[in-house]
Amino acid sequence: MIVNTELENKGNLVPSKIINFKKDVDTLYFSTENDVVLQLTVLRDSVLRFRYTTTGTFDNDFSYAITKYASTGYNHLEIEETKTNYVITTKKLICHISKENLGVKIYDAIDNVLINEDETGFHWEESYEYGGDVVKMSKVSKDGESYYGLGDKPSHLNLKGKRFENWATDSYAYGKDTDPIYKSIPFYTGLHNKKAYGIFFDNSFRSFFDFAHERRNVTSFWALGGEMNYYFIYGPKMTEVVESYTDLTGKPHLLPPLWALGFHQCKWSYYPESKVKEVTSKFRDLKIPCDAIYLDIDYMEGFRCFTWNKEHFPDPKRMVKELADDGFKTVAIIDPGIKIDKEYSVFKEALEKDYFCKRADGPYMKGKVWPGECYFPDYTNPEVREWWSGLFKELIEDIGVKGVWNDMNEPAVMEVPNKTFPDDVRHDYDGNPCSHRKAHNIYGMQMARATYQGLKKFAYPKRPFVITRSAYSGTQRYTSTWTGDNVATWEHLWIANVQAQRMAMSGFSFAGSDIGGFAEQPQGELFTRWVQLGIFHPFFRVHSSGDHGDQEPWTFGKEVTDIVRKFIEIRYQLLPYLYTAFWKYVEDGTPILNSLVLYDQDDVQTHYRTDEFVFGDHILACPILEQNAKGRRMYFPIGKWYDIWTDQVINGGREMWVDSDLDSMPIFVKEGAIIPKYPIQQYVGEKKIETVVLDVYYKEGKERSQLFDDAHDGYDYTKGRYSLRTFKLTGKPNELIIQQHKEGKFDADYETFEIKIHGLPFEISEIQVDNVIIPLERIETNGISILRINKEFSELHLIGTI
């Protein structure tokens, strides 16, 4: 007879003494008396992987987050055994592993300064309910240490003193500090004493991060299953940390087509066809640039994916072509829930092939979403992903839809308490079968991946454009994203600004928000201020729930329409600048948006700023976030900054008031920058571009700028058919020299640069282009000097008298 039914609570278990050490090329194994093994892999001089098991053996090493293209290799590796530690030295790091308890300390190899150290370090708790372990890690948090990252958290940029949960969740009308929401990106950057490091906890189970919230000198992270498996990434610059993390989890596989960086208009929902045409016609009538129009779930027949409501859209192929003829690319929504309907071909095929997710005891996972009761494909099965990608043939290749928007893929389920699948749902996980506890956070990522593969196949030779709501680390390889179902409030304007910056410092720059708010109705002032912010977000889309009314740029009266048009035109002028920033992101993982701390981590005044950010390399922007504001105080990073409206030069390293009525926004350009601009177009490709403007901002000293160009779509740029122009500016009291170096085989249509020189401190007395003197009459002067020269110049030399 059993009389004792109490569960023995062992509490937290910790590693004991090391009894064995083994080296296998770049991987070191440290085994303890109580069967804990630490596998330490040296990926690069600045990147170490720490992987722990409590059973003496490791499970299959598989991750959706890590890209096969990640850089590996190191210049130096030395292992030394002392009385108390094993000491691993690379060119950049020195790592001490304690023989007593596997405790880790990591030092900068250059100056031997301690960067990061374990507090309790690795510890775990046995999970009686599910089996396996709750795996935990605690680190020392130093006074003055700051933390950044974790994806879309709608909280202050600096995470110090807060606790967060990673569990992808449909969070309609979330607010400031709502947690968790749509994405799970378990990566953060720590900054202390001008040195930055990153930690990527690659564990897809429900995880938690505590940044000195529970205990003021301890930062910890833990997960409710899986392995303690984390990567330590050293900078010491924050940008280097973010670039290395993005290299590890994957840079976007392709540049987006240029039109995807234009302005997009969306609503739940534009239907029937006459309504779609009415909206697109009004954009053209009012000359408000726009590149994409979206079809939400009402374009489908009863919300069945890959179908059309023939009453509202009798001939979708004709409609899509007519929209394309007018410059509009059509983007359609596709959700994961497949309606249970034996007459519906997608459902029938998936059922026959056994592609739907199942419960632990065999029944299919059934849940209610927009179509009613649905089954859900298991996107963690490569065969299912291949099938799913094939479903896009008609939509993309035949009908001509140019982009696909994946929604509800957390996965979201209606009318159940947890808003998602039960824990016992089973997944293939690419041959590593598991429960939904492990697969939940990567479900949306794998749906987006399968969608991307379909568009890549059927949009060829054009580039794919995909958007996802839910994401895990690495999703940036396939898709863009937006921040979910926000609200038309001033608080949400602040949240949108913070989220876009945080996503960029989490390796996912191609992000934006629903401009104006998805839920509720914005006033014209809020809508205007949101568009002003949105022109600096790589994904630039107005979207609304529609039940409150209209949210197009002309909805709020002529004054707002005119201001919104002006700012959308600025976005279109800045497309070559943004495209160049995107190329750097794809090539090097460089964030497109830089929070001030990312821009200048050495200036402690930047560590708690949330509003100001640097767009690309050279443009400083600061949104107006309060109602009825005629300006605001903002912080200027160290250096000199030109006001784009007045050319006034501001000395940085201080906070000051900036006037900014509704038709303006604080926008500044770094001295020495050369900003490329296109003429205003109503959509990408509307005009043959004959001249590119180069706005040159004088600096006494040196500065470097770049201009990347290609065919703006297609794959030729991957074969060398691109143009990368590097401009080196050198300014002296009575001279300005601009040197140009070009690489790549692409030759754009335009022949001429129109060079506009701002802030020149001298009168020009001589002009030389490639050592040939040209007449002074070539210069137009109207407050600024303007000169038109051939795009292939090597050196422009302006000489003057002070």
Work out the angle between the directed axes of helices 316-325 and 273-286 (0-180°, nearest 10): 0
Structure tokens at 263: 């302005």
User: CA–CA separation, 78 vs 109, rounded Å?
Assistant: 12
Provide DSSP, 678-717: PPP-SSTTSS---EEEEEEE--SEEEEEEEEES-SSSSGG
DSSP conformational letter for 55:
S
207-227 exposure pattern, b = at least 16 Cβ within 10 A, e = fewer? bbbbbbbeeeebbbbbbbbbb
Distances (CA, A) of 722 to 163, 583, 684, 687: 45, 11, 18, 20
Output phi, psi for 152, to 5 deg. -95, 20
Q: Which residues contact 29 (CB under 8 A, 6 or more apart)?
A: 20, 21, 22, 23, 37, 38, 39, 40
Distance of alpha carbon 539 from its chain centroid, rounded? 9
User: CA–CA separation, 578 vs 574, rounded Å?
Assistant: 6
Q: Which of 552, 573, 404 is nearest to 478 (CA)?
A: 404
Three-point CA angle 653, 657, 663, nearest 5°: 120
Three-point CA angle 492, 495, 501, nearest 5°: 145
Q: Based on C-alpha coordinates, what's the Rg of the chain?
A: 27
Catalytic residue among 291, 335, 428, 485: 485
Place of tokens 């948090």: 141
User: CA–CA separation, 558 vs 7, rounded Å?
Assistant: 70
Distances (CA, A) of 165 to 66, 143, 181, 324: 21, 24, 9, 43
Strand 691-697 to 674-677 pairing: antiparallel
Catalytic residue among 210, 378, 407, 709: 407
Residue 401 near residue 323 (C-beta atoms within 8 A)? no
- Catalytic, 78? Answer no
- Catalytic, 407? Answer yes
Catalytic residue among 273, 410, 525, 569: 410
Residue 683 near residue 280 (C-beta atoms within 8 A)? no
Output phi, psi for 546, to 5 deg. 80, -30
- Catalytic, 410? Answer yes
Structure tokens at 688: 């043959």
Place of tokens 């979330």: 174
Output phi, psi for 128, to 5 deg. -65, -40
Residue 15: helix, strand or coil by DSSP?
coil
Q: Which of 760, 761, 768 is nearest to 795 (CA)?
A: 768
User: CA–CA separation, 326 vs 630, rounded Å?
Assistant: 38
Residue 479: helix, strand or coil by DSSP?
coil
Distances (CA, A) of 131 to 226, 435, 611, 626: 10, 12, 45, 51
Provide DSSP, 375-401: E-B-TTSHHHHHHHHHTTIIIIIIS--
Residues forming the active site: 407, 410, 485
